[in-house]
Homo-oligomer: A and B are copies of this chain.
């Protein structure tokens, strides 16, 4: 690649010499090319970093967050759920996923123009991101397709057969994720607020596509699969909150790529989304800990990290649309709301969502998607314009009440699709290979029964 660079350099030099003599228009064109290249390199630098950050969210981030919350005997089995998705999610995406999600096509699903990434190269796809190579855009979106199904695994942790998990994940990605991604972000997608969707639903980084779909599916999984042996009578404690803290912090840091990266450029919109993301994470962590403090007299580390993740979930759809102070508020509300869902509602309804994938992602995603319709403002993101190009009000507080309605429609649709599809898919997988490990295997733990290895061998 070094030659390439030196040549690029040479040409630059030559060019500059040319300019000296050449007539007016010519240089302008050359300069514009130079500017375009610089702008593209700048945005691409940030987007490549964002891709890396979002992958880091899944591995090791989510793997650690979830892995620390289960019992020692299931740590590898649980981390494997995240890890194997870095494999499956990637291959599916490369073969068909990108095309089904971002190919033109119906309002519900993309066509096959990008099958095997055909035609996805170094040039930008101006429809989606005009200043970065389409390959970068493809990579970034792939990282989302990897982590989303991984989030579900929190619901069936400690009891699902590995083969069943793989089968379910593949089907779910095809049937739920790709269509949802297309509807919300794909060109012509039903809910796409920017590319001609009938129901313009604002979802900056995946409140509906990522969190509601995974969270609601998690709820269905928890109900269909039933409780873990001994739950809730026997104590089932996190085996290492230290691992979970590492994971949560990496999720927090990685989320900057997730949300600020969704600006698909490194301009001021990215900075704004970065601010909103961090602020919401902080106040949500605070909110959850305060709730604990009032209820049990002690704020806990588990509460703090759970709250932080909840806040990140809540702000995800809003990150690029809301100002800093509303972000602080959204996080705080979200932290307390998810605390309530996880601690009170789950206990009431009595399902066993092992790691609270629904209580955090489903509940938080729903809340966030709706609040986005409330707090979104044209000062941050002039999402809607009139013919004359003047920015129109975006959120409820700016006087655009209809947006909340659109948000609710988007939320409802996500709930239905995720819920129904997941139920059917689980039944299919159950019929094919069976969903649950045997009681003996569950007692022995997933690490030994599914993978033939142990997480720790600390005997000296």
Contact = CB atoms under 8 A, between A and B. Distances in A.
A230 B70 CA distance: 34
Contacts of A253: 52, 55-56, 59
B324 A94 contact: yes
B282 A91 contact: yes
Nearest to A56: B253
Given A53-B52, A298-B450, A19 B25 contact: yes
A298 B117 contact: no
A67 B451 contact: no
Given A91-B328, A256-B48, A451 B2 contact: no
A240 B456 contact: yes
A241 B453 contact: yes
What's the dominant secondary structure at chain A's contact region? Answer: helix
A91 B242 CA distance: 25
Contacts of A5: 128-131, 264-265
A27 B20 CA distance: 11
Given A29-B16, A53-B52, A67-B242, A278 B6 contact: no
Contacts of A263: 1
Interface string A100-138: 000000000000000011001111001111111101101
B457 A456 contact: no
Interface string A58-81: 011001100100011101100110
A415 interface: no
B457 A238 contact: yes
A8 interface: yes
B126 A6 contact: yes
A417 B218 CA distance: 53
B240 A455 contact: yes
B37 A39 contact: yes
A298 B128 CA distance: 42
B1 A381 contact: yes
A286 B42 CA distance: 34
A48 B260 contact: yes
A90 interface: yes
B56 A94 contact: no
Interface in A193-251: 193-195, 204, 237-243, 245-246, 249-250
Given A3-B383, A48-B46, A458-B456, A451 B266 contact: no
Nearest to A256: B52
Interface in A357-390: 381-383
A61 to B, nearest CB: 8
Given A4-B382, A48-B260, A268-B122, A31 B31 contact: yes
A271 B44 contact: yes
26 contacts: A1-B269, A5-B129, A9-B131, A16-B28, A16-B29, A35-B38, A41-B267, A45-B46, A52-B253, A56-B249, A56-B250, A60-B249, A71-B457, A79-B242, A79-B301, A80-B304, A83-B249, A86-B285, A139-B275, A240-B458, A241-B455, A241-B456, A242-B243, A298-B450, A300-B453, A301-B453
Interface of A: 1-6, 8-9, 12, 16, 19-20, 24-25, 27-29, 31-32, 34-46, 48-49, 51-53, 55-56, 59-60, 63-64, 67, 71-73, 75-76, 79-80, 83-84, 86-88, 90-91, 94, 116-117, 120-123, 126-133, 135-136, 138-139, 162, 185, 193-195, 204, 237-243, 245-246, 249-250, 252-253, 256-257, 260, 262-272, 274-275, 278-279, 281-283, 285-286, 289, 296, 298-302, 304-305, 308, 320, 324-325, 328, 381-383, 445, 450-460
